[in-house]
């Protein structure tokens, strides 16, 4: 009897400890969500017009914009996906970091000033605004095409973030996937519909800070747990030697080059995606760009590098069975194993930060496409500002519900699928549609409206084609090698190349369209001129 009583006391003590840990984690999440709700309420006080709702009144400083652009550009794939890729592949994942640095640097240092000058000249507050003015498209065809593409791909991309929310709550708190997805969705829904773009940017600064601090801290804690770099290297040499090779131990074969290029090509998406470039529109002055570039590049190096190191160090400390056989669990598992419960709860908030900072930005972009680019500009140009602002809130809510339902559908389809590739598919769809056109529009005066439309359609359809149709077609004709090469590449790169090629060819053939581009060469020259 005494033995049974002692066993029961021990079990009760363990349950109490578990409950206390869960409460501390939950307290950290509640604190995080409360801060977001306060941000949404405070930002709502600054919502006076549709310009405020979709572009922050063009009054944002470099620090806010840099943090917001980086937090928006990363999403759940950084904390769940890239850490998991580091765990699965090792230091080869640093090619993703290299691609990100090139993409972010190219956007800020080569494109941002030109884009800012042109959007200020055209008084644009959305990407379709800019495209219509740049290409002298008076028939609204380009605007409607751009808005339509956003309304298709944005809910898919945002839905993948809802999917990631469910995985995060399940991994950290053992909540049901659907409950976790619903809680995260409701928090985003409140602050974004109340505070619009301002709430998005303010929350991104808070969330981006959490993300970079956590991704720098966790590898350091992992190193301390392992007893130093030497022990990490020894462990990997014994269990996973390929994890210490930038080519995964395969040498520089054609397949290895295809894999490296595929990883690095992820950075292409920063060179014109609307959810990132709307941040440049919101800057109060182009003089903020150089300072913003320094912040954005530093953030990328620390956060992305920390994510890969977390996965690599996690692989040295734990094997796949310890983390439940799912590489995406490495960050939740490490934070719970190595950190106090409340701090582990902060890491839950970090993952939610990555997710929510992308969902909110995507929804504002999609809402602007529906309200500003379709309804106001083509249907009701005389609609009062107050009515437009109210419509923006309701439209954002409707799109959020669509994204939520897509996320639940992904969970029902396969909640155990890897986050990295699901999210990258949505990212690729937006990037392949817009990036080639935006890049060429800033540097080539001969790009016509018809060519831009054809290129956007080509990029739009190429992503699902290269993802789903091309591999079985190559297999059907017996070209297994081609199937392997395509599988090693991210779908964004081939889709990007197809879109860019279509843009150039159609422009060169479209003599009538080039005749309508009066004054474009002078505008691009002014946009490229050195700042005073």
What is the domain count for the chain?
Answer: 1
The answer to whether residues 377 and 122 touch, using CB atoms and an 8 Å cutoff, is no
The answer to whether residues 209 and 68 touch, using CB atoms and an 8 Å cutoff, is no
The answer to whether residues 73 and 277 touch, using CB atoms and an 8 Å cutoff, is no
Asked whether residue 243 is assigned to any structural domain, the reply reads: yes
Asked whether residue 3 is assigned to any structural domain, the reply reads: no
| Straight-line distance from the first to the last Cα atom of the chain, in angstroms, rounded to the nearest whole number | 87
- State how far Cα 181 lies from the chain centre: 18
The answer to whether residues 355 and 184 touch, using CB atoms and an 8 Å cutoff, is yes
CATH number at residue 84: 1.20.1730.10
Using alpha carbons only, give the angle 333, 337, 338 rounded to the nearest 5 degrees.
120
Domain that holds residue 78: 22-419
Residues 6+ apart with CB under 8 A from 427: 75, 77, 157, 266, 269, 273, 492
Asked whether residue 255 is assigned to any structural domain, the reply reads: yes
Q: Give per-residue pLDDT as tens, 436-477.
A: 999 999 999 999 999 999 999 999 899 889 888 888 888 887
* Integer CA distances (angstroms), 374 to 129, 136, 388, in order: 11, 17, 12
Give the residue among 388, 396, 380, 503 at the shortest CA–CA distance from 446.
Answer: 503
**pTM, to two decimals:** 0.83
For residue 228, which phi and psi values (nearest 5 degrees)?
115, 170
Residue 161 has a pLDDT of 74
Using alpha carbons only, give the angle 85, 88, 93 rounded to the nearest 5 degrees.
45
The residues facing 283 across adjacent strands are 60
The answer to whether residues 246 and 86 touch, using CB atoms and an 8 Å cutoff, is no
Residue 528 has a pLDDT of 92
Residue 235 has a pLDDT of 94
Asked whether residue 154 is assigned to any structural domain, the reply reads: yes
Asked whether residue 105 is assigned to any structural domain, the reply reads: yes
Helix (H, G, I), strand (E, B) or coil at 60: strand
Asked whether residue 490 is assigned to any structural domain, the reply reads: no
How many C-beta atoms lie closer than 10 Å to residue 202's C-beta? 24
What gap in Å lies between CA 75 and CA 422, rounded to an integer?
Answer: 12
Asked whether residue 507 is assigned to any structural domain, the reply reads: no
Asked whether residue 462 is assigned to any structural domain, the reply reads: no
Q: Where are the alpha helices (H) located in 107-140, listed in sequence order?
A: 112-122, 127-134
Can you give 228-283 as a three-state secondary structure string? CHHHHHHHHHHHCHHHHCCCCCCCCCHHHHHHHHHHHHHHHHHCCCHHHHHHHHHE
Angle between helices 112-122 and 419-443 (to 10 degrees): 70
Burial of 59 (0-12, 13-18, 19+ CB in 10 A): middle
pLDDT < 70 stretches in the chain: 1-18, 40-41, 43-58, 75-76, 188-200, 353-354, 356-362, 369, 372-389, 392-393, 413-424, 481-489, 531-532
Using alpha carbons only, give the angle 293, 444, 142 rounded to the nearest 5 degrees.
90
Spell 402-422 as b/e; 16+ CB within 10 A means b: bbbebbbebbeeeeeebbbeb
> Would you state the structure tokens that stand for residue 341, as one six-digit string?
């419960």
Q: Give per-residue pLDDT as tens, 30-85.
A: 887 777 777 766 766 665 555 555 555 567 788 888 887 887 777 667 888 899 99
Residues 6+ apart with CB under 8 A from 300: 70, 97, 100, 101, 104
Residue 485 has a pLDDT of 57
């Amino acid at each position: 009897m005494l033995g049974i009583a002692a066993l029961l006391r021990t079990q009760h003590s363990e349950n109490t400890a578990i409950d206390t840990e869960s409460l501390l984690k939950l307290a950290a999440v509640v604190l995080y969500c409360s801060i977001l709700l306060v941000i949404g309420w405070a930002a709502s006080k600054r919502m006076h017009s549709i310009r405020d709702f979709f572009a922050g009144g063009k009054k944002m400083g470099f620090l806010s914009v840099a943090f917001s652009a980086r937090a928006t550009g990363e999403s759940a794939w950084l904390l769940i996906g890239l850490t998991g890729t580091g765990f699965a592949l090792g230091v080869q994942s640093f090619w993703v970091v290299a691609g990100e640095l090139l993409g972010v640097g190219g956007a800020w240092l080569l494109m941002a000033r030109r884009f800012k000058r042109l959007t200020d000249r055209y008084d644009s507050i959305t990407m379709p605004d800019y495209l219509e003015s740049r290409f002298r498209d008076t028939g609204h065809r380009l605007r409607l095409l751009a808005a339509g593409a956003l309304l298709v791909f944005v809910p898919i991309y945002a839905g993948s973030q809802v999917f990631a929310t469910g995985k995060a709550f399940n991994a950290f708190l053992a909540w049901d996937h659907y409950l976790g997805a619903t809680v995260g969705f409701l928090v985003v829904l409140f602050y974004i519909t109340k505070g619009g773009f301002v709430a998005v940017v303010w929350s991104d600064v808070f969330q981006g800070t959490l993300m970079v601090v956590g991704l720098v801290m966790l590898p350091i804690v992992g190193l301390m747990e392992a007893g130093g770099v030497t022990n990490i290297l020894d462990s990997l040499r014994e269990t996973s030697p390929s994890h210490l090779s930038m080519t995964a131990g395969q040498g520089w074969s054609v397949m290895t080059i295809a894999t490296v290029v595929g990883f690095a090509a992820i950075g292409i998406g920063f060179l014109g995606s609307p959810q990132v470039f709307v941040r440049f529109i919101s800057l109060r002055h182009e003089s903020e760009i150089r300072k913003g570039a320094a912040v954005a590049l530093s953030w990328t190096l620390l956060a992305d590098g920390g994510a890969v190191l977390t996965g690599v160090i996690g692989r040295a400390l734990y094997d796949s069975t310890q983390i439940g056989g799912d590489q995406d669990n490495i960050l939740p598992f490490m934070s719970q194993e190595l950190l106090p419960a409340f701090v582990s709860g902060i890491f839950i908030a970090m993952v939610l930060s990555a997710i929510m900072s992308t969902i909110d930005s995507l929804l504002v972009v999609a809402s602007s496409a529906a309200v500003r680019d379709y309804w106001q500009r083509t249907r009701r140009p005389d609609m009062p500002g107050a009515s437009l602002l109210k419509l923006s809130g309701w439209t954002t809510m409707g799109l959020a519900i669509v994204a939520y339902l897509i996320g639940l559908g992904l969970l029902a389809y396969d909640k155990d699928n890897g986050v990295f590739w699901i999210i990258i598919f949505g990212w690729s769809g937006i990037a392949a549609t817009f990036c080639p056109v935006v890049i060429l529009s800033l540097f080539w005066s001969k790009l016509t409206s018809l060519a831009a439309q054809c290129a956007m359609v080509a990029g739009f359809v190429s992503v699902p084609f290269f993802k789903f149709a091309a591999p079985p077609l190559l297999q059907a004709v017996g070209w297994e090698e081609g199937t392997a090469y395509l599988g090693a590449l991210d779908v964004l790169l081939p889709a990007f190349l197809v879109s860019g090629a279509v843009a150039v060819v159609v422009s060169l053939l479209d003599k009538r369209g080039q005749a309508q581009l009066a004054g474009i060469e002078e505008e691009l020259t002014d946009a490229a001129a050195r700042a005073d």
